[in-house]
Amino acid sequence: MKKIGVLTSGGDSPGMNAAIRAVVRKGISLGMEVYGIQRGYEGLLDGEINKMEWSSVGDILQRGGTILRTARSERFRTEEGQEHAVKMLETFGLEGIVVIGGDGSFKGGLELDRRGIKVMGVPGTIDNDLGYTDFTIGFDTAVNTVLSLISNGRDTSSAHERATIIEVMGRNCGDIALHAGLTGGADVILIPEVETDINKVCIQVLKGQQSGKLHSLIVKAEGVKISTGELTEILEDRTGRETRAVVPGYIQRGGTPTEKDRMLASLMATKATQLLFDDADSKAVGIVGSEIIAYDLKDALAMKREFNRDIYELAEILS
Ligand code: F6P
């Protein structure tokens, strides 16, 4: 392969820039031309495609967000849109692309693959919700951001002897809540994978109060059915402990990527670029244990995410 493209799509995640940098520099070092596609599939449809040089990706390794920008493209979801996207790739002479994003972006990639375009998926999402890989790029940074918020929340919560609920992102996956909750010492972790038992939550808070805990910390994933407002009211009503809710929202999606996310991004994106150079069939790159792997794109998307019950149970024991 001589000419390849790279795009970022869906919700941005810290480390996407490190991945773009690796694609561009690895591609050039293999003698290929690398084109940056702006605003994900939206920019592809509009032909916003520019050649990237070694220097195009200078000074971005440490930055959150994505220099290529990103979008969730409605137009690309249609048959017509997908055919137009292929025409655009042909117009620019791009034989394959690296798609950095989550499962929606990979599904889009699969549609391009069906139309003869080689697509290498690199998992960029804070949600860590892809079944085939242990970790996605951005997850570690998001967890560390939430950890720092938990720590701030604990200070003020203790000072006022309050309960604090922190609602974190993750769509239908509880991994951000689970990891930040365990390592941040939350009293209660609520995730979509485990049905919420409101009585249990209240008992846990009461127990903490009775044992002299100055604060109660509840980390709740956004995918949990009960709303944060409702939970706040129930807790206050039943435990008598003043309760405040915090929803950091998009703040947890930005920020400078951690070493782990930069390393993951560099390794995975390098692998994806090499696969395009080798003219391999479409794949999703990931990490299993400490090994960088690449599975057939379709198979990878079909793999169900296994929730780590051991971590959940450990968090309950240690809280
Ligand atoms: O997929 C990343 C994510 O931040 C999810 O955690 C969240 O549910 C969603 O994106 C928010 O999407 P949007 O940026 O479109 O509001």
| 193 contacts: CB under 8 Å, gap ≥ 6 | 173, 174, 307, 312
**What does DSSP assign to residue 307?**
P
Tell me the best of 13, 100, 103, 127 to mutate to test the pocket of ligand 1, counting ligand atoms within 8 Å of each CB and taking the most. 127
Give the active site residue among 12, 103, 113, 127: 127
- Check if 261 is active-site: no
Measured distance CA(180)–CA(160) in Å, rounded? 23
Measured distance CA(108)–CA(235) in Å, rounded? 42
Give residue for tokens 């791009």. Answer: 94
Residue nearest to atom 8 of ligand 1 (CA): 171
Structure tokens at 102: 């989550």
DSSP 138-162: THHHHHHHHHHHHHHHHHHHHHHT-
Angle among Cα 130, 297, 79 to the nearest 5 degrees reads 100
Would you say 215 and 156 are in contact if contact means Cβ atoms under 8 Å apart?
no
Residue nearest to atom 3 of ligand 1 (CA): 11
DSSP 182-232: HHTT-SEEE-TTS---HHHHHHHHHHHHHTT-S-EEEEEETTSSS-HHHHH
- Position 1 scores a pLDDT of 74
Tell me the best of 126, 128, 167, 173 to mutate to test the pocket of ligand 1, counting ligand atoms within 8 Å of each CB and taking the most. 126
Measured distance CA(89)–CA(104) in Å, rounded? 20
Residue nearest to atom 7 of ligand 1 (CA): 171
Would you say 19 and 120 are in contact if contact means Cβ atoms under 8 Å apart?
no
Count helices and strands in the chain by DSSP H and E runs: 11, 11
Nearest one of 174, 164, 160, 25 to 98, comparing CA atoms: 25
Each residue's pLDDT, cut to its tens digit, for the chain (319 residues) gives: 799 999 999 999 999 999 999 999 999 999 999 999 999 999 999 999 999 999 999 999 999 999 999 999 999 999 999 999 999 999 999 999 999 999 999 999 999 999 999 999 999 999 999 999 999 999 999 999 999 999 999 999 999 999 999 999 999 999 999 999 999 999 999 999 999 999 999 999 999 999 999 999 999 999 999 999 999 999 999 999 999 999 999 999 999 999 999 999 999 999 999 999 999 999 999 999 999 999 999 999 999 998 999 999 999 999 8
Beta bridge partners of 97: 5, 119
Q: Which atom of ligand 1 is nearest to the CA of 169?
A: 6
- Position 178 scores a pLDDT of 98
Angle among Cα 37, 42, 46 to the nearest 5 degrees reads 75
Q: Determine the distance separating the centroid of ligand 1 and the alpha carbon of 70, expressed in angstroms.
A: 12
- Position 248 scores a pLDDT of 96
Would you say 42 and 76 are in contact if contact means Cβ atoms under 8 Å apart?
yes
Residue nearest to atom 1 of ligand 1 (CA): 11
Q: Determine the distance separating the centroid of ligand 1 and the alpha carbon of 171, expressed in angstroms.
A: 7
Q: Determine the distance separating the centroid of ligand 1 and the alpha carbon of 127, expressed in angstroms.
A: 8
Residue nearest to atom 15 of ligand 1 (CA): 11
Q: Determine the distance separating the centroid of ligand 1 and the alpha carbon of 253, expressed in angstroms.
A: 9
Q: Determine the distance separating the centroid of ligand 1 and the alpha carbon of 34, expressed in angstroms.
A: 28
Tell me the best of 73, 171, 222 to mutate to test the pocket of ligand 1, counting ligand atoms within 8 Å of each CB and taking the most. 171
Q: Which residues line ligand 1 (CB under 6 A)?
A: 11, 72, 102, 125-127, 169-171, 222, 253
Q: Determine the distance separating the centroid of ligand 1 and the alpha carbon of 11, expressed in angstroms.
A: 5
Measured distance CA(77)–CA(206) in Å, rounded? 49
- Position 167 scores a pLDDT of 98
Q: Which atom of ligand 1 is nearest to the CA of 126?
A: 2
Q: Which atom of ligand 1 is nearest to the CA of 222?
A: 8
Measured distance CA(121)–CA(119) in Å, rounded? 6
Q: Determine the distance separating the centroid of ligand 1 and the alpha carbon of 71, expressed in angstroms.
A: 11
- Position 16 scores a pLDDT of 98
The model's pTM: 0.97
Q: Which atom of ligand 1 is nearest to the CA of 223?
A: 8
The number of CA neighbours under 13 Å toward the Cβ of 163 is 29
Structure tokens at 207: 């127990």
